[in-house]
Amino acid sequence: MDKNLQVLIKSLPKDKLSSDNYELVESNLPNIDENEVLVKTISFAITAGTRAGLQGSASYAGAPKTGIVMNSTGIGEIVESKNENFPVGKKVLTMTGWQSYSAQKPESLTLLRDNVDPSLYLGPLGINGLTAYFGLLEIGKPKEGETVMISAAAGSVGHLVGQIAKIKGCKVIGVCGSDEKCNTLVEELGFDSAVNYKDANYRQNLKEATPNGVDIYFDNTGGMILGSALFRLNPGGRIACCGVVSQYDTSSPEPGPKGIPGLLVNKSIRMEGFLVFDFAAKYEDATSKIIEWIESGKLKVLTDEVHGLGSAPEAFVDLLSGGNIGTRIVLLEN
Contacts to ligand NAP by CB under 6 A: 47-49, 52, 127-128, 131, 152, 154-158, 176-178, 181, 220-221, 223, 225, 242-246, 274-276, 319-320, 322, 324
Output the smallest distance, CB 247 to ligand NAP, in A.
Answer: 8
Output the smallest distance, CB 92 to ligand NAP, in A.
Answer: 20
CB closer to ligand NAP out of 69 and 182: 182
Which residues make Cβ contacts (< 8 Å) with residue 329, sequence separation at least 6?
43, 44, 45, 46, 119, 122, 123, 303, 304, 305, 306
The answer to whether the CB of 215 falls within 8 A of the CB of 237 is yes
Output the smallest distance, CB 2 to ligand NAP, in A.
Answer: 30
Distance CA 46, CA 314 (A): 11
Distances (CA, A) of 232 to 45, 217, 246: 33, 9, 20
The answer to whether the CB of 173 falls within 8 A of the CB of 148 is yes
CB closer to ligand NAP out of 37 and 315: 315
CB closer to ligand NAP out of 101 and 134: 134
DSSP state of 123: T
Output the smallest distance, CB 147 to ligand NAP, in A.
Answer: 19
CB closer to ligand NAP out of 76 and 162: 162
CB closer to ligand NAP out of 155 and 162: 155
Side chain identity at 305, as an amino acid letter? E
How many other C-beta atoms are found inside a 10 Å radius of the C-beta of residue 2?
Answer: 10
Output the smallest distance, CB 317 to ligand NAP, in A.
Answer: 11
Rounded to the nearest 10°, the torsion over CA 273, 239, 161, 279 is 30
Output the smallest distance, CB 330 to ligand NAP, in A.
Answer: 14
CB closer to ligand NAP out of 76 and 155: 155
